[in-house]
């Protein structure tokens, strides 16, 4: 059985890799969690972001980063659950609860 | 057993948030280390100074290859070779953000 | 200890040095994401087979 995969995203440059890896991982039967922090939160504005939220098992973002990047925390990115506007503890969950770790 | 994680911070637009993320994992009961490489930080706010102190209080450390960061912000001096050796003992290694930006 | 070095962009001299030190004496694989159409499935096969993956900048 495929291992579970956590992805920590801090670069605003790699949405194609986030999508490509998540699609490939789900095709292999992996459980996938993605957490966006710092300038990585700009990727919530990509057209693919809602699809990512449907595809992955868990998507969350750092709400402090979102605010610091100039976005209104009340403006929840399309596809994201309000409770997933979260904190750095999501990163801790990726490391503790998922077998494989990537940073993009 | 607590995991050991290291953040590699090479871009001044990402470094202070990388230190915040370092603290974020320290409070998740991990041994969390930041390595500030090749970027000099200007004056730090009390918030950012406290983040560095908290990382240290939680058995982590903030290292830097840059003398000015050591002198001005109390970071612990380290060389590139020493960083490499320390990384060998860490379970999670996080090259944070992007390598360089147009503004740096 | 099996290690996978993934590259998101062309590695700098410092990155190359760190990779050299971290990789010494270990069974090492690499994967270049900095291409037009990365084979993500092949990347994941490698990720699942190693003990540690480092995604360099």
Contact yes or no for B95 and C57 at CB 8 A: yes
> Cβ of C34 under 8 Å from any chain B Cβ?
no
Q: Which of B3, B11, B88 to substitute to test the interface with C, most C CBs within 10 Å?
A: B88
Q: B38 in a domain, yes or no?
A: yes
Which residue, B32, B36, B95, is CA-closest to B68? B36
Q: What is the span of the domain harbouring residue B19?
A: 4-95
Q: What is the mean pLDDT of residues A14-22?
A: 97
From the CB of residue A42, how many other CB atoms can be counted at a distance below 10 Å? 18
Measured from the Cβ of residue B86, the count of other Cβ atoms closer than 10 Å reads 19
pLDDT digits (tens, 9 = 90+) for A38-70: 999 999 999 999 999 999 999 999 999 999 999
Report helix, strand or coil for A2. coil
Secondary structure in 3-state letters for chain B: CCCEEEEEECCHHHHHHHHHHHHHHHCCCCEEEEEECCCCCCCCCHHHHHHHHHHHHCCCEEEECCHHHHHHHCCEECCHHHHHHHHCCCCEEEECCCCCCCCC
Range of the domain at C50: 2-56
Do the domain assignments include residue B91?
yes
Q: From the candidates C51, C55, C56, C57, which should be mutated to test the interface with A, based on the most A CB atoms within 10 A?
A: C55
Q: Which of C10, C11, C8, C54 lies closest to C29 in space, CA to CA?
A: C54
Closest CB to C38 among A20, A30, A103 = A20
Helix (H) or strand (E) holding A20: helix A15-27
Per the structure, how many domains does chain B have?
A: 1
Determine whether the interchain pair C33/A17 forms a contact, defined as Cβ–Cβ distance below 8 Å.
yes
Residue B101 domain-assigned? no
Give the number of domains in chain C.
Answer: 1
- Beta carbons of B97 and A65 less than 8 Å apart: no
Compute the average pLDDT of residues C4-22.
97
The structure tokens listed for B6 are 């290291």
pLDDT confidence bin for A2, thresholds 50/70/90: confident
Could you tell me the pLDDT band of residue A4, with boundaries at 50, 70 and 90? Answer: very high
The one-digit pLDDT tens for each residue of chain B (104 residues) are 799 999 999 999 999 999 999 999 999 999 999 999 999 999 999 999 999 999 999 999 999 999 999 999 999 999 999 999 999 999 999 999 998 754 33
**Contact (CB<8Å) C18/B80:** yes
Domains of chain A: 5-103 (3.40.1260.10)
pLDDT at site B103: 38
Count Cβ atoms within 10 A of the Cβ of residue B46 and give its class: 0-12 exposed, 13-18 middle, 19 or more buried: exposed
Q: Evaluate whether residue B103 is within a structural domain.
A: no
Q: Which of A73, A33, A10 is nearest to B94 (CA)?
A: A10
Closest CB to C44: pick one of A13, A14, A24. Answer: A24
Q: For residue C43, give the nearest of A13, A21, A27 by CB distance.
A: A21
* ipTM of the complex in this document: 0.95
* Paired strand residues for B8: B35, B95
Report the CATH number at residue B62.
3.40.1260.10
pLDDT level of residue C11 (50, 70, 90 thresholds): very high
């Amino acid at each position: 059985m495929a291992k579970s995969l956590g992805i920590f995203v801090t670069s605003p440059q790699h949405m194609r890799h986030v999508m490509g890896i998540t699609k490939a991982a789900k095709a292999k039967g992996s459980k996938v969690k993605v957490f966006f922090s710092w300038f990585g939160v700009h990727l919530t504005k990509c057209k693919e972001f809602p699809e990512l939220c449907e595809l992955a098992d868990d998507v969350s973002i750092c709400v402090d980063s979102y605010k610091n990047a100039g976005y209104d925390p009340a403006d929840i990115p399309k596809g994201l659950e309000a409770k997933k506007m979260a904190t750095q503890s999501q990163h801790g969950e990726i490391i503790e609860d998922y077998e494989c770790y990537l940073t993009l | 057993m607590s995991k050991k994680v290291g953040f590699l911070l090479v871009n001044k637009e990402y470094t202070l948030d990388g230190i915040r993320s370092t603290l974020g994992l320290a409070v998740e009961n991990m041994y969390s280390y930041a390595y500030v490489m090749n970027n000099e930080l200007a004056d730090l706010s009390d918030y950012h100074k406290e983040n560095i102190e908290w990382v240290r209080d939680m058995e982590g450390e903030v290292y830097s290859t840059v003398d000015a960061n050591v002198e001005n912000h109390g970071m612990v001096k380290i060389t590139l070779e020493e960083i490499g050796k320390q990384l060998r003992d860490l379970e999670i290694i996080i090259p944070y953000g992007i390598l360089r930006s147009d503004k740096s | 200890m099996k290690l996978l070095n993934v590259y998101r962009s062309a590695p700098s001299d410092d990155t190359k040095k760190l990779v050299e030190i971290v990789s010494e004496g270990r069974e090492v694989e690499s994967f270049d994401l900095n291409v037009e159409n990365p084979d993500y499935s092949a990347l994941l096969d490698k990720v699942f087979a190693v003990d540690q993956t480092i995604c360099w900048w």
